[in-house]
Amino acid sequence: MRLRPFLALVLGISISLPSYAQKNAPITDSQHPSLQHALDVQPLFQSTPLAYGYVYETGSIASGSGNFTASWNASSKWYAISITGISYYYSSYSTVVTTSVPYGNTNCQTDSVSGQLLVRCYTSSGAQTQADFGFIVF
């Protein structure tokens, strides 16, 4: 019967993992839009920064608010920032990340995983890269 191979193919495709889950990197919070984050919700009006700083491309901290740690994850090609007392979730906070010279053509994006702020930087051609950056979280 020819229907079985067809059904197996259709069912196999429909239940296969999404493309981001097939990579070696951990799945980040923004890749799960259906997840609800109820552990730490930002107040409606946050007038002072919760954390801010400048991080070198190596992941070491140049300066900042003193309540965070940063590290470069070479296998995932992102920076992981842990903020003391905060279980960071990407859509619960307003975060700005900016690169500086000589990385003018580099842009950075934020995400989260395991309560940490993630920063991913990309060249103008779209390749992930390391870069010095400043950030601020409200």
The answer, yes or no, to whether residue 47 has pLDDT greater than 80, is: yes
pLDDT digits (tens, 9 = 90+) for 10-34: 334 333 334 444 455 666 777 655 5
Q: Residue 52: enclosing H or E segment and its boundaries?
A: strand 51-55
Residue 43 above 60 pLDDT? no
Sequence-distant (≥ 6) Cβ neighbours of residue 106 within 8 angstroms: 99, 121, 122, 123, 124, 129, 131
Q: What is the pLDDT of residues 59-107, one digit of tens each?
A: 999 999 999 999 999 999 999 999 999 999 999 999 999 998 666 689 9
DSSP state of 61: E
- Which residue is associated with the tokens 């920032």? 81
Contact 120, 112 (CB under 8 A): no
What is the model's pTM?
Answer: 0.71
Domain definitions of the chain by residue range: 59-138
Mean pLDDT for the stretch of residues 35-52: 68
Give the per-residue pLDDT at 3: 43
pLDDT for 33 equals: 55
Closest to 88 (Cα-Cα) out of 46, 110, 52, 117: 117
- The confidence score (pLDDT) of residue 17 equals 39
Q: State the distance between the two ends of the chain, measured CA to CA, in whole angstroms.
A: 61
104 Cβ contact list (under 8 Å, min separation 6): none
Cα–Cα distance for residue pair 96/138, rounded to 1 Å: 9
